[in-house]
């Protein structure tokens, strides 16, 4: 069982294609354990080309003994014209593997960790691994090779010959909070990184887990409820080594929430600053609760060129209902801290949660109008995607929106009954139509021509240091003003 093919099933290239960090971590760990590993990547590339054929060809040429498939995205969480990736993955990825009809088949990844039974049942793979995969996969392979039982390995699900599925979900095993040691993945040594270089960012994970209790969130199910931190030295050594190989790369932190716990984020910045590295950094998942002047100042010094800040709401009632650990007063402070540091920010709001009504919407819209810099982007999601094992799932069952034990693989959304989808949608459309910097999730992908124009302007005016979203927003503003004049 020495040859392993790892397949990246991700077919999404918006907002940009993301390189398969998790698979590269697995590949590194497997190589260190003396397996022969290949990664099949690139299903996201637009096209007509023979994508299915190329995976089929890879299988025939490589003749793997084990095929591991990463399931990251299930759907895009957008209520309007929701994109469900599972059928596409079936066509492009699962079918060729089924046709190959050899080898042990294993599923894993964030999407799989939320729906292990449904996906194993649907595709009839042999095994699935929930949670982080590198150690568990090697344990599983060793157990198979040595004829040991496989059904007591934490995180592993197994489809027995009679079709019965058993398993121990990773979320039920809290880590002991020990230091996180991951093999450096060196993504560009496992796959052709060229297509990611121009549009994407290089992902860096500084920790796993999430101790926050947000009502709707799936992160604790995927990564566990306790933090495991990498040492700052380890994280920055990795960044430094990537920077030597790919000097122009933008690094993006992919922790569930970058600034929680805040001290860890501060220490990472301090280590970068002390080494005098000249970096371009960005991150998603900045929680307002953890924003302090010290942290943002350090982030600026370390090289952060933009951040994603995720208040979700700007109504005290909704912040409570969503189980957020900050209030509107804190949010106002956050805005001034970010302004003071001149930190370009994309703001994320999710409207329509339990208790949302006209008044709470007014509060959020009012906040956006009064406080958010119009050069910053405001991203508004309509309705909340319901995930298994979350507080929102319980409420949705109580309110009869979903049934108990109903599969949530096909996306279901929660929308407050006090508004209903039509009203919520109308109110958001009305608001975004008056503010060029506010975009509904469904409209957030800029048209190709706009991207092209933005790229030309950036080149002509030498705007390489400006975040792309700001260039795009200026173009939207021009269009907006022309529309108003018409």
Contact segment (CB under 6 A) with ligand B12 among 130-138, 161-169, 318-326, 449-457 equals 130-138
111 binds ligand B12 (CB under 6 A): yes
Whether the CB-CB separation of 223 and 175 falls below 8 Å is answered with no
Q: Which residue has the tokens 């209030």?
A: 327
Within 20-39, the residues that bind ligand B12 by CB under 6 A are: 21-23, 25-26
Shortest separation between residue 451's beta carbon and ligand B12, angstroms:
15
Q: Which C-beta is closer to ligand B12: that of 203 or that of 383?
A: 203
Q: Judged by CB under 6 A, does residue 9 bind ligand B12?
A: no
What residues numbered 241-260 form the site for ligand B12, per CB under 6 A? 252, 254, 256
CB of 395 to ligand B12, least distance (A): 17
Segment lying near ligand B12 (by CB under 6 A), choices 14-22, 45-53, 333-341, 451-459: 14-22
Binders of ligand B12 among residues 392 to 451 (CB under 6 A) are: none
- Of 182 and 328, the one with the shorter C-beta distance to ligand B12 is 182
Q: Which is nearer to ligand B12, 170 or 367 (CB)?
A: 170
Tell me which of 4, 5, 9, 10 binds ligand B12, using CB under 6 A. Answer: 10
Among 4, 5, 9, 18, binds ligand B12 (CB under 6 A): 18
Residue 70 is a binding residue for ligand B12 (CB under 6 A) = yes
Q: Which is nearer to ligand B12, 84 or 480 (CB)?
A: 84
- Under the binding rule (CB under 6 A), the answer on residue 286 touching ligand B12 is no
Candidate segments 107-115, 118-126, 229-237, 313-321, binder of ligand B12 by CB under 6 A: 107-115
Q: How far apart are CA 73 and CA 110, in angstroms?
A: 7
The residue (of 258 and 328) whose beta carbon lies closer to ligand B12 is 258
* Binds ligand B12 (CB under 6 A): choice among 4, 59, 106, 224: 106
CB of 417 to ligand B12, least distance (A): 23
When the beta carbons of 328 and 439 are compared against ligand B12, the nearer one is: 439
By the rule CB under 6 A, 90 interacts with ligand B12:
no
Comparing CB distances to ligand B12, the nearer of 354 and 388 is 388
134 makes contact with ligand B12 (CB under 6 A): yes
Shortest Å, Cβ 62 to ligand B12 = 16
Q: Which stretch binds ligand B12 (CB under 6 A): 8-16, 309-317, 367-375, 471-479?
A: 8-16
Smallest gap from Cβ 265 to ligand B12, in A, equals: 15
Distance CA 220, CA 170 (A): 10
Q: What is the nearest approach in angstroms of ligand B12 to the Cβ of residue 329? A: 28
Q: Does 288 bind ligand B12 (CB under 6 A)?
A: no
Over the window 360 to 399, marking each residue x when it contacts ligand B12 by CB under 6 A and - when it does not, the resulting string is -------------------------x--------------
Minimum CB–partner distance for residue 71 and ligand B12 (Å): 7
Q: Which stretch binds ligand B12 (CB under 6 A): 87-95, 102-110, 263-271, 289-297?
A: 102-110
The residues, any chain, with a CB within 8 Å of residue 26's CB and separated by 6 or more, are: 6, 68, 108, 133, 134, 137
Contacts of 358 (CB under 8 A, 6+ apart): 419, 427
Are 358 and 419 spatial neighbours (Cβ–Cβ below 8 Å)? yes
Q: How far apart are the first and last CA of the chain?
A: 68
Out of 4, 5, 9, 17, the only residue in the binding site for ligand B12 (CB under 6 A) is 17
Q: Does 129 bind ligand B12 (CB under 6 A)?
A: yes
Residue located via tokens 């040691």: 181
Question: Contact, 30 vs 66, CB < 8 A?
Answer: no
Positions 152 through 211 that interact with ligand B12 (CB under 6 A): 200-201, 203, 205
Q: How far is the CB of 92 from ligand B12 (least distance, A)?
A: 14
Regarding 353 and contact with ligand B12 (CB under 6 A), the answer is no
Which CA distances in Å does 138 have to 102, 129, 176, 238? 20, 11, 20, 23
Look up tokens 């279901």; give the residue: 412
Least spacing, CB of residue 355 vs ligand B12, in Å:
21
Whole-angstrom Cα Rg for the chain? 23
Residues of the shown chain interacting with ligand B12 in the complex, contacts defined by CB under 6 A: 10, 12-13, 15, 17-18, 21-23, 25-26, 68-70, 72-78, 106-111, 129, 132-134, 137, 200-201, 203, 205, 218-219, 222-223, 252, 254, 256, 284, 385
């Amino acid at each position: 069982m020495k040859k392993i093919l790892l397949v990246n099933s991700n077919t999404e290239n918006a907002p940009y294609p993301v390189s398969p960090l998790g698979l590269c971590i697995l590949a590194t760990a497997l190589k260190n354990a003396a397996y022969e590993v290949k990664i099949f990547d690139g299903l996201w590339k637009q096209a007509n080309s023979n994508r299915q054929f190329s995976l089929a060809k890879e299988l025939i040429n490589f003749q793997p003994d084990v095929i591991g498939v990463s399931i990251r995205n299930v759907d895009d969480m957008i209520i309007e014209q929701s994109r469900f990736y599972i059928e596409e993955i079936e066509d492009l990825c699962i079918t060729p593997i089924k046709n190959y009809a050899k080898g042990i088949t294993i599923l894993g990844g964030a999407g799989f960790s939320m729906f292990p039974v449904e996906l194993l049942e649907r595709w009839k793979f042999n095994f699935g691994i929930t949670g982080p995969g590198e150690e568990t996969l090697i344990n599983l392979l060793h157990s198979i090779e040595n004829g040991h039982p496989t059904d007591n390995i934490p995180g592993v699900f197994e489809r027995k010959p009679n079709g019965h599925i058993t398993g121990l979900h990773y979320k039920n095993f809290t880590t002991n909070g020990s230091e996180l040691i991951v093999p450096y993945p060196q993504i560009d040594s496992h796959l052709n990184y060229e297509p990611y270089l121009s549009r994407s960012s290089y992902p860096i994970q500084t920790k796993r887990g999430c101790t926050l209790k947000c009502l709707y969130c799936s992160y604790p199910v995927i990564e566990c409820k306790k933090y495991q931190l990498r040492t700052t030295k380890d994280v920055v050594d990795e960044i430094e080594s990537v920077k030597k190989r790919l000097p122009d790369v933008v690094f993006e932190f992919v922790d569930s929430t970058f600034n929680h716990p805040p001290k860890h984020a501060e220490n990472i910045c301090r280590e970068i600053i002390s080494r005098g590295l000249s970096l371009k950094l960005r991150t998603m998942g900045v929680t307002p609760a953890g924003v302090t002047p010290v942290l943002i100042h350090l982030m600026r010094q370390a090289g952060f060129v933009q951040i994603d800040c995720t208040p979700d709401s700007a109504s005290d009632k909704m912040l409570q209902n969503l189980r957020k650990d900050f209030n509107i007063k804190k949010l106002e402070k956050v805005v001034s801290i970010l302004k003071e540091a001149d930190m370009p920010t994309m703001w994320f709001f999710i409207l329509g949660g339990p208790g949302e009504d006209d008044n709470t919407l007014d509060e959020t819209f009012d906040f956006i109008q009064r406080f958010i810099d119009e050069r910053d982007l405001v991203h508004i999601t309509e309705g909340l995607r319901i995930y298994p094992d979350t507080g929102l799932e319980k409420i949705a069952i109580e309110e009869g929106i979903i049934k108990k034990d109903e599969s949530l693989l096909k996306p279901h959304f929660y929308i407050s009954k006090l508004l209903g989808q039509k009203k919520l949608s109308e109110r958001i459309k009305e608001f975004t139509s008056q503010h060029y910097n506010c975009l509904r999730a469904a409209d957030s992908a800029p048209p190709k021509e706009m991207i092209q124009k933005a790229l030309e302007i950036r080149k002509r005016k030498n705007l390489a240091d400006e975040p792309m979203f700001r260039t795009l927003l200026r173009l939207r503003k021009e269009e907006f003003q022309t529309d108003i004049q018409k």
